[in-house]
């Protein structure tokens, strides 16, 4: 009797230790449930606990029908553990997107079929072809011959874990050394139970009618607990290249040599029309014709600017290399530079315009004038210049205030702008002085423009802040470029003299020189 009890304890103890160890793993994983992979690892640990616990109960001396019922309960843990471990591994290392809910549902079909077949085995024998009590062991144990469904599920579970292991090893180089150790811990925790189950399926067992699997769970639990404590698994989770580019605000496309889209992040999906957002395998130039020319002209690494939906993007194209340095595709990073473009445009505008009136400032007006003078001299074309000054501007400022003076300048700037042709250039070159440069314009035509201008200003009224309305007048000097005037300074000096004469003659008039 004592000997039988000791044998039972020898069978029970490894399974019970495995159940307790995986229960601790489940509790620790649950404490990190907010971290990726922790919930799936907790499910794996609970499933392993169920597996080992009911294996323990099957050896306490129950009658055959109760042992079979316990086996059915054990099959719940057996059906859940492999898939849960695969999901935990992929999710923890940043590849949870590869095991979407839809894929998990499809992968669950085999475990569900296995679980259903286990509970209905008496009708078909797909899980156990034969079941009987073995009295040749130190105490009676239930044993059987594996059926077709057991072998199918064994290869299914093995394939899941081998695929997961292979995938993690392929991505090992992407991770720093501390996270590489975590990969080895997870792989060991996955493969040890698989090897133990393989030995059992082949008839290799430490004790009759039992397997190495509970012992393997003990070792797996030790590795996982060590990873929690010393490896700080959920305190220092790995960050993958996939996560980095997925979380970027920049749009990222991964394409192959034929420009087919292999992957894209959320920002990239937002660039596409709704119908194209999930078109993995589609050709990028067809999906975004704006980038076709840039792709065609880019042999290696390059960048360019693309206008899409009224937004400007700086597009960088880089080759993607395999480990043996072969190019197998390209990476396109789209950065929205619309705000920068607007800022650059605004800075350029501020650099050449007068802040109050919006006309060109003195520096830009002179630069443009030098170009027009050079062109007119080279090709013998007429070029006229009109200088304008507000009459009695100081009195307006002194009597009505500087705000009124500003309004007067803005009013005059608006009238001057309305007289512009595409080729003309108008600027504020002094306090109340303005100049209008008119290429391809003779002296007579310039005088006609000046006359209309002086009349329009005289007819206009300016409203003051208090509602009062006052009139303005201007003095105008008109000159046309002469052969000896080889620079803008010389040209403008003569226009300034004409303007001075107009003021001397009583203002509100035109003087042509």
pLDDT per residue as tens digits for the range 214-225: 677 777 777 776
**DSSP 8-state assignment for residue 276:** G
- Whether the pLDDT of residue 371 is over 80: the answer is yes
Contacts of 143 (CB under 8 A, 6+ apart): 131, 132, 133, 134, 209
Q: What is the mean pLDDT of the chain?
A: 84
Of 439, 437, 433, 332, nearest to 375 by C-alpha is 439
Per-residue pLDDT tens for 180-211?
A: 777 788 888 888 888 888 887 787 777 777 77
Mean pLDDT of 366-393: 91
* Contact criterion met (CB below 8 Å) for 117 and 126: yes
Terminal CA-CA length for the chain? 134
- Whether the pLDDT of residue 386 is over 90: the answer is yes
Spatial strand order in the sheet of 311-321: 261-264, 251-255, 327-336, 311-321, 302-308
Q: Given this model, what pLDDT does residue 220 score?
A: 77
- State residue 242 phi and psi, 5-degree precision: -60, -45
- Whether the pLDDT of residue 124 is over 60: the answer is yes
Per-residue pLDDT tens for 43-87?
A: 988 998 898 899 889 888 888 889 889 988 988 988 998 898 888
Tokens for 85, please give them: 């471990």
CA quadruple 109, 110, 113, 118: dihedral sign: negative
Question: Is the model's pTM score more than 0.75?
Answer: no
* Contact criterion met (CB below 8 Å) for 446 and 480: yes
Q: Given this model, what pLDDT does residue 170 score?
A: 80
Q: Given this model, what pLDDT does residue 225 score?
A: 65
């Amino acid at each position: 009797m004592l000997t039988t009890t000791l044998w039972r304890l020898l069978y029970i103890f490894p399974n019970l230790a495995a159940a307790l160890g995986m229960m601790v793993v489940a509790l620790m994983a649950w404490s990190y449930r907010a971290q990726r992979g922790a919930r799936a690892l907790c499910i794996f640990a609970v499933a392993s606990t169920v597996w080992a616990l009911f294996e323990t109960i099957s050896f306490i001396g129950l009658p055959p029908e109760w042992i079979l019922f316990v086996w059915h309960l054990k099959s719940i843990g057996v059906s859940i553990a492999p898939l849960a471990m695969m999901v935990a591994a992929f999710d923890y290392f940043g590849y949870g997107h590869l095991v979407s809910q839809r894929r998990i549902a499809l992968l669950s079909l085999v475990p569900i079929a296995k679980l259903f077949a286990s509970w209905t085995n008496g009708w078909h024998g797909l899980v156990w072809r034969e079941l009987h009590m073995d009295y040749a062991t130190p105490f009676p144990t239930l044993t059987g011959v594996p059926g077709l469904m057991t072998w199918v599920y064994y290869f299914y579970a093995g394939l899941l874990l081998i695929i997961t292991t292979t995938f993690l090893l392929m991505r090992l180089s992407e991770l720093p050394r501390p996270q590489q150790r975590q990969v080895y811990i997870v792989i060991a925790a996955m493969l040890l139970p698989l090897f133990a189950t393989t030995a059992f399926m082949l008839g290799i067992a430490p004790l009759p009618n039992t397997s190495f699997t509970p012992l393997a769970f003990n070792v797996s639990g030790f590795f996982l607990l060590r990873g929690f404590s010393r490896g700080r698994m959920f305190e220092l989770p790995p960050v993958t290249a996939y996560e980095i580019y997925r979380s970027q605000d920049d749009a990222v496309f991964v394409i192959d040599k034929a420009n087919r889209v292999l992957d894209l992040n959320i920002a990239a999906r937002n660039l596409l029309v709704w119908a194209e957002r999930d078109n993995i395998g589609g050709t990028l130039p067809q999906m975004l014709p704006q980038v076709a020319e840039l792709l065609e002209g880019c042999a290696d690494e390059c960048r360019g600017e693309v206008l899409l939906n009224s937004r400007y993007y700086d597009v960088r194209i880089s080759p993607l290399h395999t480990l043996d340095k072969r190019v197998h595709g390209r990476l396109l990073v789209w950065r929205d530079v619309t705000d920068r473009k607007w800022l650059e445009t605004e800075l350029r505008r501020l650099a050449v315009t007068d802040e109050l009136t919006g006309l060109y400032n003195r520096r830009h007006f002179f630069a443009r004038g030098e170009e027009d003078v050079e062109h007119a001299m080279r090709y013998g074309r007429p070029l006229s210049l009109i200088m304008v000054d507000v009459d009695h501007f100081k009195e307006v400022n002194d009597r009505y205030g500087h705000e009124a003076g500003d309004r007067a300048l803005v009013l005059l700037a608006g009238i001057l702008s309305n007289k512009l042709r595409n080729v003309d250039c108008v600027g504020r070159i002094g306090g109340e002085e303005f100049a209008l440069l008119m290429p391809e314009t003779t002296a007579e035509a310039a005088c006609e423009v000046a006359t209309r201008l002086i009349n329009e200003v005289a007819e206009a009224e300016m409203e003051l802040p208090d509602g009062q309305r006052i009139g303005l007048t201007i003095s105008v000097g008109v000159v046309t470029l002469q052969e000896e005037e080889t620079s803008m300074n010389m040209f403008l000096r003569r226009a300034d003299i004409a303007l001075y004469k107009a003021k001397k003659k009583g203002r509100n008039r035109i003087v042509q020189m």
